[in-house]
Each structure stands twice: as structure tokens, then as C-alpha cells.
Amino acid sequence: MLSHLWITQFGMLAHTGALGFWMNWIIYSHFAVDVFIVLSGYCLILPVVRAGELRGGAFDFVRRRARRILPPCYAALTLATAIYTLTHLHKPFPWIALLGNIFLVQDAVQRWNVFDSPLWSVAVEWRIYFLFPAIAWLLRRHGRIAVLAATAAVAYALTAAVFTWRLDLFMSSPWYLFLFAMGVCAGWTAVQPHLELRRWALASWGFALVALVLVWRNPMTNTEGADFGRHLPLIDTALGAAVALALISLHRHPHGRVRMLLSTAPLVRLGGMSYSLYLIHLPILQSLSILLRALHLPWAHSPFIRLAILAVVGLPIVWAATVWFYHTVERRFLTVKRTP
């Protein structure tokens, strides 16, 4: 959300000089999606581990995922479409783009991702869900190595095809299948007895360092981010491995300081509403930014001043809207009712 707040005023390109040194980190919010993809696989496999099977089979799993994910997503799309229509009254309405969003293929055609751009990752995740029953079956029958080998082969064959022939499909991020599988294998591993936690923690830091070095060598500032994008599958894989290994360590170390911090009430509350926050924050921030520009306030011409105004005024509005959206929409579709 903070990254998108910055991007609404300064755009996606990184900055140079002192400003870039202090602020460029904020435009790398893409890595939050890496964490989400790995964490999703980790969380989905834990009930399978406990039950010894995928409850209800593949069809019931997809049905439950659809009920959990799609209604809030479509409600957010409705809100974003209304905001887009009101803020683009003098432009033809992109009906094809709307259909692309409805069928969750807007990640494949970037010009369709105009209403609520963070939804591209929901589209990617939604397709991966259809493969989860096969991944769970392969894991139970043949183990982690088979899962990692099979998903890596599929993921990076598709990635190579995208980079070779169809670079316009870049946002479909086929390498995320492997990150998801790493999360699944991490969940399977975390419940095994007699794990050497120090080894997993050190390996996590090692992969995180690899990811950091790759970003340092290929930042967004180089040729307008082209080097960063070219190396993104490798960067994402290193970071995904770091997250997966960290989850194993956190799972088996219940009294660790990091886990206790993440379990504090404010963060648990924020985590409980994080899907709603993710779905609706950008259209609201964009509409507030457009309104602020339209007012032509003499003291708000600077993007830094507009950024400060949106941070002070916009973020509380976004959070209030998130609480409303969660209790009005998302909470109705939770499998297990909770009150963050």
C-alpha cells in the first residue's frame, strides 16, 4: 500500500541521487507478492498434512477456493470499475478489459489491467489453485523432491517460452508455480519431527542474501528496470526459497521473537483483513490523488506535498474502507468465521 501510494505520485521508475538512496526500496513491493505466493502454498498444505488427504477431493477444494477468493475479488472489481468510470468520463469504456478482469486473465494482457492493478496476482494465484490437488497428490505419493522437480520443470519451461516468444505475457509469472510448490513443501517439512532449526534458518538467510545481491546488481534504476525484469524469475526464486525456509524455522520455534512479534494483536488484526486491504486500497488512493490534483490547490503542486497529504488523509480513509469491506463482504465468505 505504501509502495502504491508512492507510485501514484512519482510513477514506477526508480530515482537517482539522495532521493533514490532513501526511497527506492519502496517501489520493490513486487516482493510482497513473492511472500504471499509461498505463504499460500504453505497454509493450504497444512490441513492436508493434518487430515492425511485433501478433504473433499479436487472439485471441493476448487469450490471452496472459489467461494473464498472470487466474491470479494468481484466486489472489489465492481468498486474499482465505478471509480474508473467516474474518473475517466471523457474516455471510451474498455469493455474488453472488464471481461478480462472478470475471467481473471488481465495478467496475461497488461493493457487490460486498468481497473485495480493488484488483482493481477489474484489471477495468477487462481490458476495455480487448479494444480494444487495434483501437487498434494504428488507430495503424498512421491515426496518433496518429486514436487520440486516437476513444478520447476513446468514453471521454468513456461518462463523460457514467455521470455523467448511472448514477452507480453510476462505478468502471468509462470515461475510462481515453483514458489507456490516451495511453500507447499515447507508446510510439509515443518511438521516433521527432529528438524535442525539452525540449518533451516541459516539457509533462509543465505537465499535472502542471494536475492539481495541480485537486486543490487540488477536494480530498477538500470535501463528503466529492464535488467531487473530480465532477472526477476531468478530473484523471485531466491527470495521464495528464503521465505519457505524461514516459515519452517518459524513453525518449529513457537517462542522465537519474530514469531511472537508477528502474533501481536495489531498485526493479527491487520493480517485478518489483509485480503480486503489488498483488493481495494489502490483504486481509493488513485481516486484521492486525482481529486487532489483536480482541486488545483496552490500549495499542493509538489508531488511530495501531495504524498504527505495522501499519507495523512488517504491511509486512514483506506483503512476505514477496508474495515467496512471486510465486515460487509469478505467475512461472509470465510470458511472459518473470525473477528480480527
Measured between alpha carbons, how far is 62 from 100 in angstroms, rounded to an integer?
Answer: 20
| Distance, CA of 69 to CA of 72 (rounded, Å) | 6
Residue 187 contacts residue 49 (beta carbons within 8 Å): yes
CA distance 100 to 245: 35
Confidence band of 200 (pLDDT split at 50, 70, 90): confident
Report d(CA 132, CA 40) in Å as an integer.
11
Question: Is it the case that residue 35 has pLDDT exceeding 70?
Answer: yes
Q: What is the pLDDT of residue 279?
A: 96
For the stretch 16-32, pLDDT in tens is 677 777 777 888 888 99
pLDDT of 246 > 80? The answer is yes
Q: Cα-flanking dihedrals φ and ψ of residue 116, to 5°? A: -145, 85
Q: How far is CA 86 from CA 93, 98, 153, 283, 292, in A?
A: 11, 15, 45, 12, 15
Cβ contacts of 79 within 8 Å, gap of 6 or more: 280, 283
- Give residue 336's pLDDT band: very low, low, confident or very high (50, 70, 90): low
Split at pLDDT 50, 70, 90, the class of 202 is: confident
pLDDT for 149: 95
Percent of the chain with pLDDT over 70: 94
